[in-house]
Structure 1
Amino acid sequence: MSKPKDNNPSQGGLIRLTARCTAADCAGKLGPADLSAVLARLDLPSHPDLLVGISTGDDAGVLRLSDDLAIVNTIDFFTPVVDDPFTYGQISAAGALSGVYAMGGLPRTALNIVCWPQTGLPNEMLAEILRGAAEKAREAGVVIVGGHTVANENEEVKFGMAVTGVIDPHRIVRNVGARAGDALVLTKALGTGILMTAFKRDHLTDEPYQAAVRSMTQLNAAAASAMLKYDVHAATAIMGFGLVGHALKMAEGSAVTIVFEESDLPLLPGVLEQCRAGMIPGGGQRNREYYAPSVRISDEVSDEIAAIAFDPQTSGGLLIAIPDQQSLALLAELHNCGHRDAAIVGRVTPRREHPIELV
């Protein structure tokens, strides 16, 4: 299959950033089992003004400054999913900002985080990464106030942002609070982990590649603004732990069961074909191994859809729990503001044997 060429005029497309990493982006993050084991050894942070900490694995932390003002802090950085440095910078920034948007906050400042090889890559490529991130930050109204660099001994590149936002302490959207009877709205299509694995292996054509890039570079700003107009009960950004992993946090923290309908899940173009071709990232396999005991998968669900449900997403969409009677209005608003793939993907029920069901 012909491989899409990244737009990289300064390097003539000769240097492949994805070839320098063992796992691309969120597929390369620490697996949920390892992370849980590490966190279990720690005392959870505590402070009277800490409104959201790490206890529910939420998208960001929230610290109250006054009765009507709190700050939201989040961070995300990862290895390249594309070869074009400018696009990589855009994707990294969009992903980092999503943690603030998922809480209903407004991102205001960001710090760049750079891990750059000491040899082998021209500094012009790093400048393009930073330029791509800066463009996406400007689109979000975010000011980049500085950053930090580390010179790597190995070849891997990593880039991301630490983001600070503001929020009304009385209007924080948590990843817990979903209620039986809620509908579940997903704002972006699934499959970036599988598609970018295919890209890295030279197995992806231009159309699905471009669709994945458009999804990953799209900010969740409009989606967050839209959801705040409704009685949202819970929301979370779908990132490295996949749809199932992030939904599981919502289900467990809300003491409910989340049921996803196979036929309702929005998929990026080409993801089913790449899944059948075996383009499953290691992060997806780790997610499935860890989360499988908490998930009931109906016999009628295809193997491909099951794999996609565990697929680690890069700069994925928001999963929103909202009263069923408001879901169609929210969906229409999401479609009108540019989230054309947004869909109602399931429902919330009283707690059953498994916190997640895929039917």
Structure 2
Amino acid sequence: MHSPTRTPVRLTQFAHGGGCACKIPPGELEDVLDGLTAPVTVTGDTPLLVGAATGDDAAVAALPAAAGAAPQAVVSTADFFTPVVDDAYDWGRIAAANALSDVYAMGGRPVLAVNLLAWPRDVLPFELAREVLRGGLTVAAEAGCHVGGGHSVDDPEPKYGMAVTGLADPGRLLRNDAGRPGVPLSLTKPLGLGVLNNRHKATGERFEEAVATMVALNRDASAAALAAGATCATDVTGFGLLGHLHKLARASGVTAVIDTAAVPYLDGARRAVRDGYVSGGTRRNLEWVTPSTDFGTADEETRLLLADAQTSGGLLVAGEVPGAPVIGELVLQGTHTVVLG
């Protein structure tokens, strides 16, 4: 279903980047945050269980335990970006699914979100902003998550996303520092969203499979991972599979070995790479992970796809998830955090 108010306006043309490809490059971001990440606090009534030190998907703090009640933790995150598709309603759905994903990646359940909207009010009609917000509301309702208002600013570049609060069992979190040697790696969505979105921005071609993949919630994948006993996961977004896997392996003190032949891709992704629709964000991702990666015999096309900046990608789970392909395993720490085979 598309926006009933579709217009000739191409939203992607109002953004310098697209989706999670517009993130600050991971290497630059780590330099900015150096010395600013507070250690995890384990004292007080609401101890911080997961902070910024490992670059996990969301922050988690334990809630004060009520007498006789099961322990609970609060999960907090925010995510927003420039238009990744031209259709306003679809952009809203994608951005909401992407923001909610951070809570699912921690093993939590989103309960409350607020909108984050930046809009060039003198350039783009507000009927499009309404469609963006309607798309976000639609996906939040599917997730069973309240939307309680939000914040907006006048901005020359449109941006949309959500700040999301969720709940989780503090004893059953999915963390990026909990990987252990000998555990398989599963990927719950195919790669290639970045190059297809970049092609869409350049040509106007619409890729229905890509849109369906981006609006799909990671709720069921998260529940399946928890049911299978997984304790380690992350979602694959702007830093690409290699970037997020590097962060997971580094935080866990292990090496990840990837079977490149087992990694799933969207139809048309390889052709988009060959035709040159590779974003600057993807190339920066590849540059960042190269010193920590043994690429083996992987060709340039494969390397770019593995570093492709995803928007609302799937979960990368240390463990087997029913229906998701196993793409590798974690092994004892070696000279690289990621090895391709």
Q: Is this a same-fold pair by TM over 0.5?
A: yes
Matches within 5 A, 1:50-129: 50-67=48-65, 68-129=71-132
> Residues 215 and 79 (structure 1 numbering): CA distance in 2 closer, same or farther, change over 3 Å?
same
Letter paired with 1:216: M
Counterpart for residue 171 of structure 2: 170
Matches within 5 A, 1:1-359: 7-12=2-7, 14-44=8-38, 46-47=40-41, 48=43, 49-67=47-65, 68-152=71-155, 154=156, 156-202=157-203, 204=205, 206=206, 209-299=207-297, 301-322=298-319, 327=320, 330-331=321-322, 335=323, 342-359=324-341
Question: How far apart in 1 are the matches of 2:268 and 2:76?
Answer: 35
- Residue 172 of structure 1, CA deviation: 1.3
- Residue 317 of structure 1, CA deviation: 0.3
RMSD of aligned alpha carbons: 1.3
> Residues 8 and 170 (structure 1 numbering): CA distance in 2 closer, same or farther, change over 3 Å?
closer
- Residue 353 of structure 1, CA deviation: 1.0
- Residue 43 of structure 1, CA deviation: 4.7
Question: How far apart in 2 are the matches of 1:38 and 1:45?
Answer: 16
> Residues 85 and 203 (structure 1 numbering): CA distance in 2 closer, same or farther, change over 3 Å?
closer
Q: Which digits, 9 at most, give the CA deviation of each residue in 1:280-338, with x for residues without a partner?
A: 11110111111110011012x2221110111111000000002xxxx3xx32xxx3xxx
- Residue 45 of structure 1, CA deviation: 5.2
Q: Which digits, 9 at most, give the CA deviation of each residue in 1:214-264, with x for residues without a partner?
A: 100000001111111112131001111110111111111111110111110
Question: How far apart in 1 are the matches of 2:59 and 2:91?
Answer: 25
SS in 1 for 2:203: coil
Letter paired with 1:109: L
Q: TM-score, normalised by structure 1?
A: 0.90
Count of aligned positions? 332
**2:40–2:49: 8 Å Cα contact kept in structure 1?**
no
- Residue 170 of structure 1, CA deviation: 1.2
SS in 2 for 1:201: helix
SS in 2 for 1:26: helix
Question: How far apart in 1 are the matches of 2:149 and 2:6?
Answer: 26
Letter paired with 1:64: A
> Residues 150 and 45 (structure 1 numbering): CA distance in 2 closer, same or farther, change over 3 Å?
farther
Question: How far apart in 2 are the matches of 1:255 and 1:191?
Answer: 28
Letter paired with 1:10: T
SS in 1 for 2:63: strand
Q: Which digits, 9 at most, give the CA deviation of each residue in 1:23-53, with x for residues without a partner?
A: 1011111011210111014251553200100
> Residues 43 and 213 (structure 1 numbering): CA distance in 2 closer, same or farther, change over 3 Å?
closer
**2:49–2:62: 8 Å Cα contact kept in structure 1?**
yes
Question: How far apart in 2 are the matches of 1:198 and 1:229?
Answer: 38
> Residues 213 and 11 (structure 1 numbering): CA distance in 2 closer, same or farther, change over 3 Å?
closer
Question: How far apart in 2 are the matches of 1:229 and 1:52?
Answer: 21
Q: Which digits, 9 at most, give the CA deviation of each residue in 1:175-205, with x for residues without a partner?
A: 112111111000000011111001111074x
Question: How far apart in 2 are the matches of 1:291 and 1:315?
Answer: 21
Q: TM-score, normalised by structure 2?
A: 0.95
- Residue 9 of structure 1, CA deviation: 3.9
Question: How far apart in 1 are the matches of 2:259 and 2:39?
Answer: 37
Question: How far apart in 2 are the matches of 1:119 and 1:187?
Answer: 41
**1:70–1:167: 8 Å Cα contact kept in structure 2?**
yes
* Identity level (%): 42
Counterpart for residue 338 of structure 1: none
- Residue 357 of structure 1, CA deviation: 0.9
- Residue 60 of structure 1, CA deviation: 0.5
**1:251–1:356: 8 Å Cα contact kept in structure 2?**
yes
- Residue 74 of structure 1, CA deviation: 0.7
Question: How far apart in 1 are the matches of 2:328 and 2:190?
Answer: 14
- Residue 118 of structure 1, CA deviation: 2.5
- Segments of structure 2 that go 5 or more residues without pairing to the other structure are 66-70
- Segments of structure 1 that go 5 or more residues without pairing to the other structure are 1-5, 336-341
Q: Which digits, 9 at most, give the CA deviation of each residue in 1:251-278, with x for residues without a partner?
A: 1111111011111000000000000111
Question: How far apart in 1 are the matches of 2:52 and 2:127?
Answer: 38
